[in-house]
Structure 1
């Protein structure tokens, strides 16, 4: 399958080219030339299939023309070494728990898949020079990518993160690893980190001397596999007799996660509609209300993975809907919550339902409480384990949150970050001097 750029000013790319480049030459994001609609028979029997069986079928629709079936199945099964269960929180509202992977965040799925796919293409090409993977993170992306690529031969990873704007546990998960993982602590915001990554791909000097790719959700190998757990969630909900009139609510930052859900819907997944839950960085909500996309500098919140002022994947949503604002707002609604509402939701749901939310999941839960219509069932994405946000969660619930053993091991590591300014010249010099 060929991949085109949302910028509409670059030649089509093969899957291997799209994955290796990350960003198209015209600064656009790659999109598959077609989206296969899966047959009704697949959905009729989906509740009898395993997660691996579901994901392999979905992966084949996207990548089956470019990767041999046996190898693709191996990549999928190696990626999904953990479950993504659904849990009933209260009547009509369920949580899709995406924090059971190695770094306890939803991005484990996309990061692990991309690492294995990129390693496949490197091995197939016989490439001798290393590939440098650049990734900007506001929290969980860095840890998922770093751990997904840790020790992968032929790949160096450079993680850029905003100084003082990620939790200590998140930072420890990618800044203590060493080996082929470098953490750059940028004196700026997440948007600065994202700008540095995008600028690197457009710098001729860098692209001539280094083989660069991105592991942010701008990369098709990162965001497309995230559709796997939407299908699996539907199967689980159908098994529980709760799949009719299903509304899916996604805590949204860079919008790769909800875009994967929209792709799943285009493939036939029976979802009534989507809700994008925002924190104070509500650029998408403003677009839904006005039809005008007006990015602005991000502000720090307790739901830091959603602190994005210019979501990269908005370009994909526009492209998917041919820029039709009315259709977009008819299929996606939006809600916004400030830190006080988020904290209050964590405390209330813990007290009333016995379910502990993380700050991002709290936004999703609140949006379903506010936005569900009679007869609908809501499913929100619980995107990270609440123990990763103890500083926010513990004061409002009045007790300690148990830290899973996997997180505890990270906390014992020594921070190995390199400090850097938000100036692109400094970043370029660093990459060329390595």
Structure 2
């Protein structure tokens, strides 16, 4: 399997180089496969839903090629995933894909654990340490820190926007020790991401240190997220007729979206042959991509703080990968987009709970609200010639090819629940009047001491700190 660069299609490199370098330091481009491989027909045509690990292994084989022997790859998959991704029906045409059963209670565990083990595998025998730099808007940092904690030869520096993530998320980040540390940056997630991306293109810094990324900038964190898209789509395909009496439904995946790495993984899964008809990109007030989908103009902007903070991204880096995989017109056929404000997020949590009994987190709530509104009249109004103004919360005025299946009641939705609601207990309590139960693995960190390091929003200061504190 060969990999190329979103900014220079002539680039050809192997998986090891793509994983360990994170992004192409010569161009600043992001790595993508030269071709998207197709899933094995036996996997796609099973009459029963395959196990998550079986799906993960079959997909990983396609991308690892000859770089990792199958026996080693099986061990990596088994070590990565002692947990599952349950597909939970909450009403006759809605499933929730629960992605919070990993150690840090967020979907980032699926990508971070695979990436950590892949990097450790490729880093064997190296004399110089590999330094991971990662910006987080919430859950990425804790998942990466957990995945790499104690991994020999690799250390991790996490940058997060001080005071702009939930208290529990900040607690998860600020309590790491050993080879993982967190920097509390005076700024936004976009500022954190800018500092990291600038470091990767800093020639002098890269000569001194071996640097890599653990954001969805890194292809080894992006590709394993396709595992759960394929798994969920095959599961729903096998069970849908029993659940809702719809034969061969259009399967629509509703993706809470911030940096758009998760959606990119879904698009890759669809290209591989997963039975996914289309997607809804569900965003908060940081609606850069919905605006681009409507206007064709990509205009990054400063991020806006919201209740769904992990999606507070005004300049999503994976837009670059999406446009390398699809033209704007192609994407408009596959993708609907929807955005809401904080009032809509609270409404989503309340509505989901009242109508289904399910307690959903603020990010999943944006997805639920998008799917509910699409089913309950928003798509009908759009197709009847009464589109919502894109400046107002709601479905943006783009009609995907699967829109008629909504009106014909031939579609089912899979809403991605990207984090455990207990990580946002105050917001959930505001919406439904009580806090959700807290998993033991979250509760145990509450009494740990904070060890985060204050960092100015300034690249020179950041660079000097790296040079002083990292080992060459």
Which of 259, 276, 299 lines up with 1:254 in the alignment? Answer: 259
Pick aligned residue for 1:393 from 416, 428, 432:
428
Out of 253-262 and 236-245, give the one that drifted further.
236-245
Q: Distance in 1 between matches of 2:345 and 2:299?
A: 24
Query: Which digits, 9 at most, give the CA deviation of each residue in 1:271-315, with x for residues without a partner?
Result: 111110010000000011101100100000000010000111111
Number of the residue aligned with 1:233: 232
In the TM superposition, residue 14 of structure 1 has moved relative to its aligned partner by: 1.3
Matches of 2:174 and 2:74 in 1, distance apart?
A: 31
Runs of 4 or more, structure 1, over 4 Å off, are none
For residues 217-270 of structure 1, the C-alpha deviation after alignment (integer angstroms, 9 at most, x for no partner) is 010100000000111112321332256210001000111111111111111111
Query: Pick from 317, 323, 329: which aligns with 1:312?
Result: 317
Q: Distance in 1 between matches of 2:456 and 2:123?
A: 32
> Partners of 2:9 and 2:95 in 1: how far apart?
42
Q: Whole-Å Cα distance in 2 between the matches of residues 68 and 336 of structure 1? A: 44
Q: Is contact 2:348-2:365 (8 Å) kept?
A: yes
Moved more, 239-248 or 113-122: 239-248
CA contact (8 A) 1:3 1:30 kept: yes
1:351 aligned residue:
354
State the 1:9 CA deviation. 6.8
Q: Which of the numbers 349, 369, 372 marks the counterpart of 2:372?
A: 369
Moved more, 341-350 or 190-199: 341-350
Counterpart Cα distance in 2 of 1:10 and 1:237 = 39
- Distance in 2 of aligned mates of 1:255 and 1:89: 25
Q: Counterpart of 2:35 in 1: which secondary structure?
A: coil
CA contact (8 A) 2:352 2:360 kept: yes
Gapped regions of structure 1 (runs ≥ 5): none
Correspondence for 1:19: 19
Match of 2:341 in 1: 338
User: Structure 1 residues 213-222 or 10-19, which shifts more?
Assistant: 10-19
TM-score (norm 2): 0.89
Q: Give the equivalent residue in structure 1 for 2:95.
A: 94
How far apart are the structure 2 equivalents of 1:73 and 1:34?
Answer: 23
Could you tell me which residue of structure 1 aligns to residue 329 of structure 2? 326
Q: TM-score, normalising length from structure 1?
A: 0.97
Superposition map of 1:282-321 within 5 A = 282-321=287-326
* 1:387-424 Cα shifts (integer Å, max 9, x gaps): 00012111221113221100001112111000010100
- Pairs within 5 Å for 1:41-80: 41-45=42-46, 47-80=48-81
- 2:33 equivalent in structure 1: 32
Structure 2 SS opposite 1:56: helix
Distance 1:48 1:413, change over 3 A: same
Q: Which residue number corresponds to residue 150 of structure 2?
A: 151
Deviations 1:298-344 (A, max 9, x none): 000000010000111111110001xx211111111100010001101
What is aligned with 1:273? 278
2:433, 2:186 → 1: CA distance?
33
Cα distance in structure 1, aligned partners of 2:373 and 2:354: 19
Q: Quick check: 2:186–2:456 contact (8 Å CA) kept in 1?
A: yes
Partner residue, 2:389? none
1:93-113 superposed Cα distances (whole Å, 9 cap, x missing partner) = 111000011000000010000
1:82 aligned counterpart, secondary structure: coil
Distance 1:233 1:174, change over 3 A: same
The count of aligned residue pairs is: 430
Which runs of no fewer than 5 residues in structure 2 stay unpaired? Answer: 242-247, 376-405
Contact persistence 1:95–1:379 (CA under 8 A): yes
Cα distance in 2, alignment partners of residues 129 and 240 from structure 1: 50
User: Are 1:85 and 1:236, in contact at CA under 8 Å, matched by a contact in 2?
Assistant: no
138-147 vs 238-247, greater mean Cα deviation: 238-247
How many angstroms does 1:10 deviate by? 6.9
